[in-house]
C-alpha cells in the first residue's frame, strides 16, 4: 500500500525519541507537492511527533528531514520560516496580545530591519483574518476568546505567513462541527490550483477523525506504533482491514452518499441483536420510543432504505 509521490518535503530513516523512549523508528515519508496529506492513527502512535520533526521543532535521533533535498538541520531558521509554516497542537499566546497583533506575527519571517511593516504585510494579515472569520475579533485579547475562536486566530497567523508548505497539528481541535468543516474546506482551497494554473499550497495535517481524513485528503498516511502501516489515496487504502489493523476497530467501510469517499461505520457490539421485524414496514423512531419491545435506538443494522 504505497505510492511513489515525491515533493519538496521528505523524511529519510527518521527516528524520533523523547529521552530514552523511541516514538518513531526509521520512518520514510514523501509529502506530495500541491496536495493535502493527512496523517491518522491511534493516540500515541507518533503522528504529532512526526509533524513536529517535519517542522524542525524536534531534532531527530537519527535520519533527516529534507527540504528541497537539503537537511532541515542545516537550513537557516529564517529561510525555513519563509517556506514552511507550522501550527502546533496547543500553541500559547503572549499574555494580553490582541488578535490582530498575533496574526501579524505571521509576517515576521518576511520583514527586514529597515522595513518593519509594508502594504504587503497588511494585505496578507487582512486576507488571513477574513478567510478564518476572525476580523470582528481583531482588537480583542486572545486570552479572552473561546477555544474555537483561538484556534481560528492561530490558523489565521499561519495563513498570514504565506508559506508554500503548511503543517497543521489537529487544526479542528476545540471547533464545533460547522467550524470544523469551514476550516477543512479552507485547507482544501489552499491546496487547489489557482485560476492561472499555479499549484496550490502543500498541506500536511494530523487528524483524529478518519472520516474527515478520508474526505479531505489527497494522500493519506496511516500510522501505528511509530511506523507507517499504509499510504496512498483514501479510496485505495481505507477498508475494514486497515481500520482493524490500525485502530483495532471492527467497522464497515461504505461509499459516502455525498462525496463517494470511504465512510467508516463502526459496529455497535454493546447493543444486543434484535430479532427481525415481522412488519413489512420498519418502525419510525417515534414508534420505537412508544413500543418498549422495539429494538433499542442506535442498534447497528443494515438500512432498509432503497
Chain-centroid distance, C-alpha 62? 26
Over range 33-40, report the average pLDDT.
96
Assigned domain for 57 exists: yes
Assigned domain for 279 exists: no
Assigned domain for 244 exists: yes
Number of domains making up the chain: 1
Phi then psi for residue 170, to 5 deg, are 50, 65
Assigned domain for 273 exists: no
| H-run or E-run covering 226 | none
Q: Kindly report the CATH number assigned to the domain that includes residue 88.
A: 3.40.50.300
Assigned domain for 96 exists: yes
Q: Encode pLDDT of 123-177 as tens digits.
A: 999 999 998 889 999 999 999 998 888 888 998 999 999 899 999 999 988 888 9
Assigned domain for 274 exists: no
Given this model, what pLDDT does residue 218 score? 96
| Average pLDDT over the chain, rounded to an integer | 85
Q: Encode pLDDT of 196-228 as tens digits.
A: 777 888 999 999 999 999 999 999 999 999 999
Given this model, what pLDDT does residue 264 score? 96
What does each C-alpha distance from 280 to 3, 274, 277, 302 come to in angstroms? 48, 16, 8, 15
In whole angstroms, what is the distance from residue 306 CA to residue 302 CA? 11
Q: Encode pLDDT of 79-137 as tens digits.
A: 999 899 999 887 888 889 999 999 999 988 877 666 677 888 999 999 999 988 899 99
User: Could you tell me where the beta strands, DSSP code E, fall in 105-226?
Assistant: 165-169, 202-206, 219-224
Q: Which domain holds residue 211?
A: 9-267
Q: Encode pLDDT of 6-17 as tens digits.
A: 689 999 999 999
Assigned domain for 33 exists: yes
- Kindly state the DSSP code that residue 207 receives in the 8-state scheme: -
The pLDDT of residue 300 is above 60: no
Assigned domain for 272 exists: no
The pLDDT of residue 4 is above 50: no
Amino acid at each position: 500500500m504505497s505510492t511513489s509521490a515525491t515533493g519538496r518535503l521528505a523524511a529519510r530513516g527518521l527516528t524520533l525519541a523523547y529521552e530514552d523512549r523511541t516514538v518513531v523508528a526509521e520512518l520514510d515519508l514523501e509529502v506530495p507537492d500541491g496536495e493535502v496529506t493527512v496523517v491518522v492513527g491511534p493516540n500515541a502512535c507518533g503522528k504529532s511527533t512526526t509533524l513536529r520533526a517535519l517542522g524542525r521543532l524536534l531534532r531527530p535521533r537519527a535520519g533527516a528531514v529534507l527540504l528541497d533535498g537539503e537537511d532541515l538541520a542545516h537550513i537557516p531558521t529564517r529561510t525555513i520560516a519563509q517556506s514552511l509554516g507550522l501550527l502546533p497542537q496547543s500553541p500559547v499566546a503572549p499574555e494580553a496580545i490582541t488578535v490582530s497583533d498575533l496574526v501579524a506575527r505571521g509576517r515576521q519571517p518576511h520583514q527586514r530591519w529597515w522595513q518593519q511593516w509594508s502594504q504587503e504585510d497588511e494585505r496578507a494579515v487582512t486576507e488571513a483574518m477574513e478567510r478564518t472569520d476572525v476580523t470582528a475579533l481583531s482588537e480583542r485579547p486572545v486570552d479572552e476568546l473561546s477555544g474555537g475562536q483561538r484556534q481560528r486566530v492561530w490558523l489565521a497567523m499561519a495563513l498570514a505567513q504565506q508559506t508554500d508548505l503548511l503543517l497543521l497539528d489537529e487544526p479542528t481541535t476545540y471547533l464545533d462541527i460547522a467550524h470544523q468543516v469551514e476550516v477543512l474546506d479552507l485547507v482544501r482551497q489552499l491546496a487547489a490550483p489557482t485560476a492561472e494554473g499555479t499549484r496550490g499550497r502543500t498541506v500536511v495535517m494530523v487528524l483524529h477523525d478518519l472520516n474527515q481524513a478520508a474526505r479531505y485528503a489527497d494522500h493519506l498516511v496511516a500510522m501505528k506504533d511509530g511506523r507507517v502501516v499504509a499510504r496512498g489515496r483514501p479510496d485505495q487504502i481505507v477498508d475494514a482491514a486497515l481500520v482493524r489493523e490500525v485502530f483495532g476497530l471492527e467497522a464497515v467501510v461504505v461509499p459516502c452518499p455525498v462525496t463517494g469517499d470511504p465512510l467508516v461505520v463502526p459496529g455497535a457490539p454493546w447493543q444486543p441483536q434484535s430479532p427481525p421485524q415481522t412488519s413489512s414496514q420498519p418502525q419510525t423512531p417515534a414508534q420505537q420510543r412508544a413500543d418498549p419491545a422495539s429494538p433499542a435506538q442506535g442498534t447497528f443494522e443494515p438500512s432498509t432504505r432503497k
